[in-house]
Amino acid sequence: MPRVLFQPYQIEAEISPDETVIDLAMKLGIHINASCGGIGVCNKCKVFLESGEAKGEKIEDIYYKACTLYPVTDIVVRIPVESHFDRKALLRKTRAQALERKETLSLDPPIKKVYLELTPPDIEENTPDLERLLSALSEKEFEITEVPYSLLRSLPHVLREADFKVTVTLFKHARGYRLIDLEAGYTLERNLAVAMDLGTTTLQLELLDLNSGETLAYTSDYNPQISYGEDVISRIEFARKKDGLKLLAERVKERSLLLMEELLKEAGRKISEINLFSIAGNTVMTHLFLELEPRFLREYPYVPVAKNYPLLRAKDLGLPLKEESVVLFSPSVASYVGGDITAGVLASLMAQEEQLTLFIDLGTNGEIVVGNRDFLMCAACSAGPAFEGGGIKCGMRATSGAIESVNIDPQTYEPMFLTIGRKKAKGICGSGIISLMASLLRVGLIDKAGKYRRDLKHPRLREGDEGYEYILVFKEDSATGADIVFTENDIENLIRAKGAMFAGYQILLESVGLSINELERVFLAGTFGSYIDLEDAITIGLLPDLPRDRFYFLGNTSLQGAKKVVLYTHKREELMRITQMMTHVELSNHPKYMDYYMAALFLPHTDESLFPSLSQRG
């Protein structure tokens, strides 16, 4: 069989006759952009064929589609810069100041460790080992309701290893305590947890010391499932293939464990010290992690397997932690309003407070919540991946070399832009796309319908393969050797995405007899929400035109919520209360949604009274 060498990774492997280059790359864990799930329609899985013979479809006369490329002989392929990600960009600092919602709480994790010095048995007092242990715990007011079989088997040996001096690890649940570990000797200091935001695009993890509440380490990486589909729909479709669901689950678990090892290495701790793993993710990501059938999430009437997930053990999920380590998942509300949003609302404190609040998560999917301590209404907006570069000709993830902000001179129409990492431009990420469109509108290069001026002759305006476009970076200045452009099709995609979001705000507020002007606060959640420029987002009609002091950037509330559940036992109950409070509105079925959506397909909106500050600006 032929061999394929992937550059710049220097990874080589054999390829079977029925495999494409992208199939092999997926097996080897090498990322190549495949936003369509490898079905050959996105044209983003570009590779150079440096040597050897192969059959496949060419793009732009210099690239091959990796999803159509079949080697005839041994080959060497190079993955160009725009086809892979640089994870270092995930750790960059945000431009917007985040508002940290703090509570005065006493540390009270659901994992308890108890040191016991038991009296060894003798011929006159020969109480069974388990009864001896449970009696000692009962004296300390720990009523044990569950004893795992695996611990029962090891119990006599552990007790005698240190002359009946042991440390017991317990998990507190509604009915009492579950015994999850028994260690010889004094090990109270070994009590760790991991909180994870299970995102469609990224995984973000923190290692926590349950004795002090301190965060010992933080790390992040791209979700490896991206290779099988950039959005949740593509991954649901991939899961329908033979072993597809199993493969998606295995990949994300493998990456999660690698990241855990990074955390532990940084903190100088061991994996055997992890007793609790708290995960917050959207409904689809949670289903894929748990290997639950995701198919019916996208088929009418959009039914998840479950919204509330049982307490699981590490061994249930095949995770190489201690067998009885507890794994918690944040509950979902609906097919597209998941545990990342319920955890986010928990972290935001909006369900404890009186102010009418709009909570917006501008991630790969768009979810919104309106309410306060009295009510919560939620919805998922069909915004698509445009805010993260998907469906944009030169769009890319927020990685090194991505254009993140743009300003166009109103006289010369020449751009000034910044890239992440201050590297040569490779493409435009979500914040850059919003910034560019706002700037084009401000200087009059596009009209309110998103169309470029046809009467202006300028070297940066031209008619391209997909209609009129603005050349942001000429090919000689780009890292890719190709022009970086922003087309009218790109603008249309972004207008549709922002229109879906704005219509969602209006529908949720109208459902409770309120209007946008009555909002007292707007919380922007998610990593992406911390990078967008507020004025740019309002200029294009993505965010409501309210006094700017009503907007707050909260950062990754999904991870913050997953942490709260780890550190405070009562937060699990509060999370369940929030989930039960949330009334889900299916926007596509709402009789007025299409009217509101169509009205929002304008920059910033057909109803200019909704954007008074922009009208005053002229």
CA–CA gap between residue 533 and residue 433 (Å, rounded): 11
161-173 per-position pLDDT tens digit: 999 999 999 999 8
Residue 618 is predicted with a pLDDT of: 56
Mean pLDDT computed over 489-512: 95
Residue 27 is predicted with a pLDDT of: 74
Between 85-89, 363-367, 397-401, the lowest mean confidence (pLDDT) is in 85-89
Q: Are 401 and 419 in contact (CB under 8 A)?
A: yes
**Residue with the larger pLDDT of the pair 526 and 57:** 57
Residue 82 is predicted with a pLDDT of: 64
User: Mapping DSSP to helix (H, G, I), strand (E, B) and coil, where does residue 473 land?
Assistant: strand
Residue 277 pLDDT class (50, 70, 90 cuts): very high
Q: Is the pLDDT of residue 72 over 80?
A: yes
Confidence (pTM): 0.88
Cα angle 519, 560, 223 (rounded to 5 degrees) comes to 110
Between 150-159, 500-509, 519-528, the lowest mean confidence (pLDDT) is in 519-528
> For residue 477, how many other CB atoms are within 10 A of its CB?
12
Structural element, H or E, at residue 554 = strand 551-555
Q: Is the pLDDT of residue 239 over 70?
A: yes
Residue 600 is predicted with a pLDDT of: 97
Which of 214-219's residues contact partners 24+ apart within 8 Å by CB, and which partners? Answer: 215/563, 216/192, 216/263, 216/266, 216/267, 216/269, 217/262, 217/263, 217/264, 217/266, 217/267, 218/263, 219/259, 219/262, 219/263, 219/266
CA–CA gap between residue 178 and residue 61 (Å, rounded): 63
Q: DSSP labels for 254-306?
A: HHHHHHHHHHHHHHT--GGGEEEEEEEE-HHHHHHHHT---GGGSSTT---S-
Residue 34 is predicted with a pLDDT of: 64
CA distances from 565 to 310, 331, 555, 568 (A): 15, 12, 18, 6
Q: Is the pLDDT of residue 83 over 90?
A: no
Residue 113 is predicted with a pLDDT of: 97
Q: Is the pLDDT of residue 36 over 60?
A: no
> Which tokens sit at 321?
């932690």
Residue 327 is predicted with a pLDDT of: 98
Tokens 């006094």 -> residue: 547
Residue 465 is predicted with a pLDDT of: 87
Task: Give the 3-state DSSP-derived string for 48-112, with helices as H, strands as E and coil as C.
Answer: EEEECCEECCEECCCEEEHHHCEECCCEEEECCHHHCCCHHHHHCCCCCCECCCCCCCCCECCEE
CA–CA gap between residue 195 and residue 154 (Å, rounded): 29
Tokens 């890239």 -> residue: 419
Q: Residue 507 corresponds to which amino acid?
A: I
Residue 35 is predicted with a pLDDT of: 54
Between 114-128, 208-222, 517-531, the lowest mean confidence (pLDDT) is in 517-531
* Angle of helix 339-348 versus helix 283-290 axis, rounded to 10: 120
Instruction: State percent of the chain over pLDDT 90.
Output: 77
Residue 91 is predicted with a pLDDT of: 62
Question: Considering the chain, what is the average pLDDT of its residues?
Answer: 92
Residue 533 pLDDT class (50, 70, 90 cuts): confident
Domains of the chain, start order: 3-84 (3.10.20.30), 111-184 (3.10.20.880), 344-385+494-617 (3.30.420), 397-474 (no CATH)
Residue 418 is predicted with a pLDDT of: 85
92-139 per-position pLDDT tens digit: 555 445 577 788 899 999 999 999 999 999 998 999 999 999 999 999
Listed residue (361, 415, 425) closest to 388, CA to CA? 361
Residue 96 is predicted with a pLDDT of: 46
Mean pLDDT computed over 440-463: 96
Residue 37 is predicted with a pLDDT of: 55
CA–CA gap between residue 118 and residue 453 (Å, rounded): 84
Residues 6+ apart with CB under 8 A from 613: 538, 545
* Rg (alpha carbons) of the chain, rounded to whole number: 27
**Residue with the larger pLDDT of the pair 180 and 387:** 180
Phi, then psi, of 591 in degrees rounded to 5: -60, -25
Q: Is the pLDDT of residue 87 over 70?
A: no
Residue 174 is predicted with a pLDDT of: 84
CA–CA gap between residue 511 and residue 341 (Å, rounded): 20
Phi, then psi, of 261 in degrees rounded to 5: -65, -35
Q: Is the pLDDT of residue 502 over 70?
A: yes
Q: Is the pLDDT of residue 60 over 50?
A: yes
357 bridge partner residues: 371, 521
Residues 6+ apart with CB under 8 A from 126: none
Between 46-60, 146-160, 388-402, the lowest mean confidence (pLDDT) is in 388-402
